[in-house]
Amino acid sequence: MEENKNLFKRKIFPLLIITCAITLTYFPYFKNTFGIDTSTMIKSQGQMLSGYLSQGRFGMVWIFELLIHRYNNQIVPFIVIPLLVGAGIYLYFTLKKYDKESSDFAASLFAIVFICNPVVYAQLCFKMQAIQIVIGVFCVLLGINLSLSRLRTSVKIIGSGLLFAFSFLIYQVFVFFIFSMILFCFYVFRDKRQQILQVMVPSWLVASLIYFLSYFLASFMIHYSSYGNETYMMWNKLPELGNLQKIGALFIALFALAYLFLLIITIRRFRAKKEIDVLLLILLIGSIMTFNMAFGNLRPAPRVYFGTFSTVFSGILYLGIRKGNGLKYLFLLIILFSMFFTFSLSHKANLSYENDQILTENVMKYAREHNILENGTNLVFIGNLQTGNQGMLNKFQDIFITGATRVSFFQFDPPLTSLRPYDFMEIKGYHFKIPTPKLRANLSLKYEHLPNYPSKKSMFWDKGENALLVKLSN
């Protein structure tokens, strides 16, 4: 009986905790909602897949063509959340297998916070690519485990290189994720350091070569989008930047030089068999900025950090918990907050989606009451739904819900040019006419006196312009 109790406590209980923690954190994710760009996938899958190809995310398209075929938004959470649980459990076993100092408590919390943090959710908010992203995470974890195994070095380099390469082909930012994982493994698995240098680093370089070769060969058939450069790259347009952006780019350049210098010192000290733990920890923490160093961009969207952030954030907490000091209870509180905050982001997205549906139904109710036909009628939205999103918690949430992860279809683009509300309404089965920017601008001035939604007087039917107006904000 005592033996069974110990078996449950040591083997089964940590897995139950990981499963429950991840499932509860992402429980709101089960709700069938869809986000900004996911609406494009629902309306036109071919358009979205062509967009992925134009951005060099070939793996995204391959997974669709081989495994998914037709996108179904409803089933995505039922695939993604079990995969996240599996990833958490796999992380737990990897730490227990290779880290002699790891406890069940420390390994369990590392696995939980690695998955349950707001930056990971910001990436998974795009349900259209969530399955592929989690598959990419598994490729990284499998590659790390293979690199640390006892197989022949050549087999490990080839196998890990292919796994890492496929993750790059899914989404290029995995290159930064794996770099941080290499540093974490180098710090934690001390008896494997020579092996990590011999296998993991070459595998990462081989994977990078495979990606760039694939990108080059595909360039003969695919016209690449300039979206990535225009959105993130700052090094190639320094003269065009404002003064603050130039100062930011200068800071990033100095940081990159200091980081490279520190990396060289660490390598030299390792070869000389000197103490490098403090330097490794600094490099691990600094690796959170590798995306910034590559692009010269001080403030990219948080979601691009997702794997790197998880490695650094959970890694620092893990190292503190592993020491067994009194800080482990503080770290436990941090992890619980991370879970709660991630839950709240997902819940906020659900509430916003419901509010968008209510707004849509209110518009249709007004149209029916006034015998307004959908087809041929201009639907004009004045303002957007960002106004009123106040409060400290909302402001903190908005750090993570930025760019295309904004949760409302009525708050993303400037109100005079946005097409996203019309996409949302079309998916819901309503087909109003999209007004010209000129008509929107004229009617916005003409009816600026209307009260803001949700006032019943926020809607108005202009028969002369054949336009239904909805005043969302000033």
Mean pLDDT within 28-52: 90
What are 44-81's pLDDT values in tens digits? 899 999 999 999 999 999 999 998 888 999 999 999 99
- Residue 415 has a pLDDT of 66
Average pLDDT of the residues in 142-151: 94
Please, what's the largest Cα pairwise distance for the chain? 83
Backbone dihedral region of 408: left (phi > 0), alpha (psi from -120 to 50 degrees) or beta? Answer: beta
Q: Please give the Cα distance from 4 to 82 (Å, whole number).
A: 27
**What three-state secondary structure class fits 135?**
helix
Cα distance between residue 343 and residue 349, in whole Å: 10
- Phi then psi for residue 288, to 5 deg, are -60, -20
Residue among 50, 59, 137, 148 nearest 96 (CA): 148
pLDDT reading at 159 higher than 60: yes
pLDDT band at 35 (very low <50, low <70, confident <90, very high): confident
pLDDT at 79: 96
| C-alpha distances in Å from residue 3, one per residue of 15, 16, 102, 103, 104 | 18, 19, 22, 19, 17
**Predicted confidence band at 405 (pLDDT cuts at 50, 70, 90)?**
low
pLDDT digits (tens, 9 = 90+) for 408-464: 888 877 766 778 889 899 999 999 999 998 998 899 899 989 999 989 899 999 998
- pLDDT given at position 126: 87
Q: What is the pTM of this model?
A: 0.91
- 287 close to 312: Cβ distance less than 8 angstroms: yes
Query: What are the pLDDT digits (tens) for 217-257?
Result: 999 999 998 887 878 888 888 888 888 888 988 999 999 99
Q: Are 185 and 293 in contact (CB under 8 A)?
A: no
Q: What is the mean pLDDT of the chain?
A: 90
pLDDT at position 143 is 97
pLDDT at 335: 93
> Of 76, 265, 62, 93, which Cα lies nearest the Cα of 171?
62
Q: If pLDDT is split at 50, 70 and 90, which confidence band does 103 have?
A: confident
pLDDT recorded at residue 253: 94
Residue 1 has pLDDT above 60, yes or no: no
How far, CA to CA in Å, does 40 sit from each of 35, 37, 50, 71, 78?
9, 5, 12, 11, 21
Percent of the chain with pLDDT over 70: 94
Say yes or no to pLDDT of 5 above 80: no
- Quick check: bond before 435 cis, omega within 30? no
Mean pLDDT of 354-362: 93
For 208-215, the CB contacts below 8 A with 24+ separation are 208/165, 208/168, 208/175, 210/161, 210/162, 210/165, 210/168, 211/165, 211/168, 211/169, 211/172, 211/175, 214/58, 214/165, 214/169, 215/56
Residue 470, strand partner residues: 381, 459
So what's the pLDDT on residue 383? 84
**Could you tell me if 225 and 55 are in contact, meaning their C-beta atoms sit under 8 angstroms apart?**
yes
HSE-up of residue 423 (Cα within 13 Å, Cβ side): 20
Does the structure show a pLDDT above 60 at 194?
A: yes
For residue range 251-277, what is the model confidence (pLDDT) as tens digits?
999 999 999 999 999 999 999 999 999
